[in-house]
Structure 1
């Protein structure tokens, strides 16, 4: 088994970049989202005072509870934590010495602190995925201590054990994402027609999604089949003993994620998933080293490799033909697919396979521990070094085992029986640590939305209730002539929540009332989050919202949706939000109950607060994508220069 030193360093570097994207993206949105005059002010969340170290980890652990000791308000505290995260992740990106467990602990703690007060704007799976992967970085990264006469080792024999936890996280993410599409009983997934609607109905599409939407139906149906294959079947190859099979699994996942990146803006999520896929590789991939074996071993290895690889590929083809009905069309220029198993058969299969996946994961972890112990006694010189290295392996094996066992609680949500069979002690451990978000359940695109048309909430303002003008958001569809944009890895969290709001009603999205109130009062911080304010001189007196259904225009001239200039065609469906005025009694009562009118506590301005204000004034309100990429490109340039002149 090859070493994973370059693999570990590559994973940690990529995680530094993910943190950089996340902190940078959120920093430009703090005032309008969670600031004192934002949509959901974080100041209304009551944070208990910290009087001891133990108090910090009771309830919601967030460094914002310490901000009063620094003389900072909640808003300034969030900016301070965000800037600290940007600086620290940037240093981890450009300086290898900073890639150690201490720095990654603080990065995880900083993001957890912001997550705890993020409210509905942080309720996304990629946020909890970043927290779980970020915590694993603490275990994976070396504990670098450099004293005059002693220095800790940069690499350890247990590195492959900690990287296994990343591989297990990747398996849970992909397998669950595929399974929930079928357990949801969504007819579009079962009918393999989900991609007929996905490119049009996703949150923030890219320009390429328009072209993908108009691909032939048979190709889109084949794409759904490939998605099931990549998310449900191929993840089992993550634990394959053959290197080529793991690389095949890596490239398969990479293909899926790149396809999603090109056709949809899912911020840093797909890049984070690719980062997790690095755990499927080893140093031979990065350093192109040839394995040194005797001729007999090379021949034996090659034969075994060929047999197992052929068997794996053959079984995948068998699944495509038997369970997805893969066949040629009448003219042999198309491929037809259809699900040939029933819903009850899939449920029975899932109940059988989930326990086996746990067994496979446990065996794989045991093999990693055994390999690490063998390496300790084969490569280390001196009995003391062998013994100390073995102790480190055993210690990390215990930690990894605990993480593995705890992760079974959210993972077995896929199968009720498997979850019921877990020991009560395991569930108790999970509940005790749940507030730290060390492990979570996943499952993306459970149900396909926008089957009858992409729902969009359009907010309009007026001064006389006769002429209504639309507010245009930064990235979500509004103006039918505007071309979709590439915005990832930036996440415009307001645009995302507007997409979720369109899927329900305003009663289930109460934050929307605060947003409308901020528009009625012309709050500058909130207006920075949208593209066009039609009332630049004075805010409107009246506000309303309508629900539209959007469809991509058609390239076919005979279609009713054909257009040479428009990207979208839309139809007015119904009223979404009744007319609001600033002094509306019901609105004001709701705002009062939720603390929006709560007086902002005056905090004496100190040197740190003034510095944060100057930084905000200097940066201004840049475009999120531009801000992120400027910092990232700077880091890449420094990396290139340092390696070139090294």
Structure 2
């Protein structure tokens, strides 16, 4: 069926599938390491309490059958093993239906985690992984050429991701329109990386070029995805280059990496490989009739569900990172419709003093990723996702009591809860828990070049106010 398959995209599919499997693997490893402390039976926002409030039809998940921390470890561990198997190419060694089941297995497991993940899994890249993972089910394996329809659905996903992000910026903060947002963004982004200080210190005109380049990548290049080759590959290449720039300048979990993987599915790698004298495309058999029927049905479903995201794109009240169905099949995307001009950080401290006095010595809790010690260089951890650190960035933008997880987190620190403390970089009270914990709000800014040379510090900080007064076990706070 010449109309149904695109043999020249065999390598494009291979790059996409291997890349997606790697991202799945990271996602499941993050869940294994962090989920029990955040969402386990004794976590900050326990899944069992969530399941009692939310029915299956609103949040489909295998955990509606039963939840336990052991079962969760089995689910996440199975997902990690299957991701590793797909990354190693196992799907190309089994029949077509077996490969589809492997990808469907991953999608069901990760969707089950996302749908009970509450605020910890409310990020756009979670829905993005679910949507891309669903489409991967229908891409087939080495036994058949990639289906044209699914390749176009991947382009439609990439278009919504990039064009939606571009529109939300132009409709949002004025600094995107006057090209000044990156005067602030490298410093105030949720999780700066090792090079963010250097990006922030680039000259103003370079920042304007950065913003203009972003607009080209998100508002112009997406339309090139639907052009003939090689123009579609050029459009995808612009997006890949932009995403690699973002990877260097900050930590955005796997958002940039999955965008690169999606864009890679557009590039005609097969033509390039043949041109350069690499291995020719493998021989593909004819697509089975049942496979054609399944792909047509999946395509019809995605087209039907695309009405709401498409309407959202042209709406004056565009929503960002929203799902219109509980299966996260066709979603809206976007990021940084507004850019904060000042960076605030919540710094949590504890003491063992029996009473709080002006002479009380406080010890600071250090997080793995978010800014704390001004002399500590921002670390690189993306595509790994430090969920608690990200939520601490949001916490600094509003009062402590606006975040239902914050006080349970403080109470865990007062108990020296081992699982919670493993989410942090170190424990200032390894022998016994603190008697009091408090939180202070600081204003952070990158040091100047002169300050950096003189002090070795990456940040300077200024106390703004008390974010949470000292609390102890049994406090009403």
TM-score, normalized by the shorter chain, greater than 0.5? yes
Q: Does residue 1:460 correspond to 2:447, yes or no? A: no
Q: 1:79 to 1:398 in 2, by over 3 A?
A: closer
- C-alpha separation between the residues in 2 aligned to 1:64 and 1:155? 35
CA apart distance, 1:476: 0.6
Alignment match, 1:178: 166
Superposed counterparts of 1:179-578, under 5 Å: 179-184=167-172, 186-241=173-228, 243-285=229-271, 287-289=273-275, 393=292, 396-416=295-315, 434-449=325-340, 451=341, 453-462=342-351, 463=353, 464-465=355-356, 466-556=360-450, 563-578=454-469
CA apart distance, 1:57: 6.3
- C-alpha separation between the residues in 1 aligned to 2:456 and 2:197? 13
Q: Does residue 1:45 correspond to 2:50, yes or no? A: yes
Q: Which of 9, 13, 17 does residue 12 from structure 1 map onto?
A: 17
Q: 1:290 to 1:543 in 2, by over 3 A?
A: closer
- C-alpha separation between the residues in 1 aligned to 2:271 and 2:447? 44
How many residue pairs match? The answer is 453
CA apart distance, 1:502: 0.9
CA RMSD of aligned residues (A): 2.7
Superposed counterparts of 1:95-174, under 5 Å: 95=90, 96-97=92-93, 100-142=99-141, 154-156=143-145, 159-174=147-162
- C-alpha separation between the residues in 2 aligned to 1:553 and 1:417? 39
CA apart distance, 1:285: 4.0
Check the 8 A contact 2:412/2:420 in 1, yes or no.
yes
- C-alpha separation between the residues in 2 aligned to 1:86 and 1:195? 37
- C-alpha separation between the residues in 1 aligned to 2:284 and 2:419? 59
CA apart distance, 1:135: 0.7
Check the 8 A contact 2:144/2:284 in 1, yes or no.
no
Per-residue displacement from partner, 1:571-603 (whole Å, max 9, x unpaired)? 111121222221013x4xxxxxxxxxxxxxxxx
Larger Rg: 1
Q: 1:289 to 1:100 in 2, by over 3 A?
A: farther
- C-alpha separation between the residues in 1 aligned to 2:174 and 2:315? 22
Where 1:46 maps in the other structure, the secondary structure is helix
TM-score by length of 2: 0.88
Check the 8 A contact 2:253/2:385 in 1, yes or no.
yes
- C-alpha separation between the residues in 2 aligned to 1:266 and 1:238? 24
Q: Does residue 1:82 correspond to 2:87, yes or no? A: no
Check the 8 A contact 1:12/1:141 in 2, yes or no.
no
- C-alpha separation between the residues in 2 aligned to 1:471 and 1:395? 53
1 or 2, which has the higher helix percentage? 1
Q: Does residue 1:3 correspond to 2:2, yes or no? A: no
Specify every segment of 5 or more residues in structure 1 that has no aligned partner in the other structure, as ranges: 50-55, 68-72, 143-152, 292-378, 420-429, 588-646
CA apart distance, 1:245: 1.3
Question: Relative to structure 2, which stretch is displaced further, 130-139 or 573-582?
Answer: 573-582
Per-residue displacement from partner, 1:96-142 (whole Å, max 9, x unpaired)? 32681100111000001111221111010000100011111112235
Alignment match, 2:280: none
Check the 8 A contact 2:438/2:470 in 1, yes or no.
yes
Alignment match, 1:638: none
Question: Relative to structure 2, which stretch is displaced further, 169-178 or 563-572?
Answer: 563-572
CA apart distance, 1:380: 11
Per-residue displacement from partner, 1:159-186 (whole Å, max 9, x unpaired)? 12111111100000000001100111x1
Where 1:545 maps in the other structure, the secondary structure is strand
CA apart distance, 1:249: 1.0
Query: Moved runs in structure 1, 4+ residues, more than 6 A?
Result: none
Q: 1:27 to 1:395 in 2, by over 3 A?
A: closer
Question: Relative to structure 2, which stretch is displaced further, 204-213 or 279-288?
Answer: 279-288
Q: 1:569 to 1:380 in 2, by over 3 A?
A: closer
Per-residue displacement from partner, 1:413-469 (whole Å, max 9, x unpaired)? 1323899xxxxxxxxxx96xx1111111111111112x1x21100111123322222
- C-alpha separation between the residues in 2 aligned to 1:486 and 1:161? 37
Check the 8 A contact 1:140/1:159 in 2, yes or no.
yes
Check the 8 A contact 1:5/1:155 in 2, yes or no.
no
Q: 1:513 to 1:183 in 2, by over 3 A?
A: same
Q: 1:289 to 1:159 in 2, by over 3 A?
A: farther
Per-residue displacement from partner, 1:62-99 (whole Å, max 9, x unpaired)? 122334xxxxx521111111100011111111123268
Per-residue displacement from partner, 1:249-306 (whole Å, max 9, x unpaired)? 1221111111111111112221111111122123534522499xxxxxxxxxxxxxxx
Check the 8 A contact 1:461/1:544 in 2, yes or no.
yes
Question: Relative to structure 2, which stretch is displaced further, 513-522 or 158-167?
Answer: 158-167
Q: 1:576 to 1:48 in 2, by over 3 A?
A: closer
Q: 1:401 to 1:550 in 2, by over 3 A?
A: same
- C-alpha separation between the residues in 1 aligned to 2:131 and 2:270? 27
Per-residue displacement from partner, 1:16-55 (whole Å, max 9, x unpaired)? 1111111012211123212233222223223599xxxxxx
